[in-house]
Amino acid sequence: MLQAYVVESNVYDFAISIASQFHYLVNVFTVVAGAFWIAKDIRNRLRRQFFTINLQGKAMGAQKRILVTGGAGFLGAFLCERMVTEGHDVICLDNFFTSQKSNIVDLLEQPNFEFVRHDITHPIWLEVDEIYNLACPAAPGHYQFNPIKTLKTSVLGAINALGIAKRCHAKILQASTSEVYGDPEVHPQPESYRGSVNPVGPRACYDEGKRAAETLFMEYNRMNNVNVRIVRIFNTYGPRMHPYDGRVVSNFIGQAIRGEDITVFGDGNQTRSFCYRDDLVEGMVRMMNGPDDFIGPVNLGNAGEFTVLELAELVIEMTGSNSKIVHKALPADDPLRRQPDATLAEEKLGWKPIVSLREGLEKTIAWFQQIDWANYRPPTPNF
């Protein structure tokens, strides 16, 4: 009897000891699993807050939803490419008026890039954190093709883009232009210069449209606290300019490559400043990411001043072309001098163009030499 009791009590003690060890193990497991879960949660929260993994697997800055209107154009496509590479979620909106799908074809495969074929003169409902408003034909021949449409694109386009910014509390940057200074009497042009624009001339649809857009940006900021930015872009060139866009750099390079006469309007002593695409886009991005109390307008351009004749001679030399320079009548209201005073951009954004005209032309000419011109259609008959 006593023996049976001893055996029973040993079994009982043994069971108790197993149970208490199991309990101990469960406690340890719970603590370890809990700690692991908390660490994972903290990591995910930090990751959502501060990092995103881009397509190439690099950790990047905070991911944003970015809308680029006119995103298939010369500057827009390069900007989209940069934003996609930085890991942002990019919506490119365009109606392909002065561009074409080939500009963004490589981006279409990327999961953080979306294309919306839309005309910005009509309202659209999108959810974004930042907007770069670039939609507008930029070359005189094309913006003069349908001047009323150009005005609508600048004015209604700005209203529609600002409407999205207001509703989403998004930051919005306007791609304005040195053309707001018209044919300037002040040289070089600082942002404080109010310009000399002919409101009834053939360039007014663009110049006045862009001026009205600046006004809209300032009023949405004053009335509705929309977080705006305005950059005034001076003549910019680079690879992937539309070969038929009709601007001076693409015209001269195209004519030189084909061995045709190089057409200089007037005596060619009118001056221009030429900014390389990558420098310009860097300035735009710095402005967007800059302090909220600096909304512009700010000039973005290369202060180096060249006569149109000098540009023609440089292009002939660099392409090794036999082209001859011929002169044609200067178009109405063509500005005689254009040069940015870019000190404000340097002071506020630490921005300064770094690519020289020769270096930029080298890359641009190389791009024009390898494209198949048959793959491009002129946007309008005016190029």
Which residues lie below 8 Å from residue 132, measured CB to CB, with a gap of 6+? Answer: 66, 67, 68, 69, 71, 76, 79, 172, 173, 175, 284, 288
Which one of 52, 54, 99, 364 is in contact with ligand NAD (CB under 6 A)?
Answer: 99
Catalytic-labelled residue, pool 132, 181, 206, 220: 206
What is the nearest approach in angstroms of ligand NAD to the Cβ of residue 329?
23
Element (H, E) at 174: strand 171-177
121 binds ligand NAD (CB under 6 A): yes
Separation CA 248–CA 265 (nearest Å): 10
SS3 176: strand
In the window 136-175, what residues touch ligand NAD (CB under 6 A)?
136-138, 153, 157, 175
Written as one letter, the residue type at 182 is: G
Which one of 76, 140, 184, 283 is in contact with ligand NAD (CB under 6 A)?
Answer: 76
211 or 242, CB closer to ligand NAD? 242
DSSP state of 90: E
What is the nearest approach in angstroms of ligand NAD to the Cβ of residue 44?
38
63 or 315, CB closer to ligand NAD? 315
For 258, phi and psi rounded to 5 degrees? -85, -5
Helix intervals (H) in 225-247? none
119 or 214, CB closer to ligand NAD? 119
54 or 103, CB closer to ligand NAD? 103
Query: Is 181 among the catalytic positions?
Result: no
What is the nearest approach in angstroms of ligand NAD to the Cβ of residue 157?
6
Element (H, E) at 346: helix 343-349
Asked if 240 and 77 touch (Cβ cutoff 8 Å), the reply is yes
Which one of 144, 189, 221, 236 is in contact with ligand NAD (CB under 6 A)?
Answer: 236
Tokens of 217: 């940006």
Stretch that binds ligand NAD, among 73-81, 186-194, 304-312, 331-339 (CB under 6 A): 73-81
250 binds ligand NAD (CB under 6 A): no
Stretch that binds ligand NAD, among 185-193, 196-204, 229-237, 353-361 (CB under 6 A): 229-237
230 or 312, CB closer to ligand NAD? 230
How many Cβ atoms sit within 10 Å of the Cβ of residue 373? Answer: 11
What is the nearest approach in angstroms of ligand NAD to the Cβ of residue 153?
4
Which residues lie below 8 Å from residue 44, measured CB to CB, with a gap of 6+? Answer: none
Which residues lie below 8 Å from residue 3, measured CB to CB, with a gap of 6+? Answer: none
Q: Which of 177, 190, 130 is nearest to 347 (CA)?
A: 190
Nearest residue to ligand NAD on Cβ basis:
73
Q: Among all residues, which ones are annotated catalytic?
A: 206
Positions in the binding site for ligand NAD (CB under 6 A): 70, 72-76, 94-99, 119-121, 134-138, 153, 157, 175, 177, 233, 235-236, 242
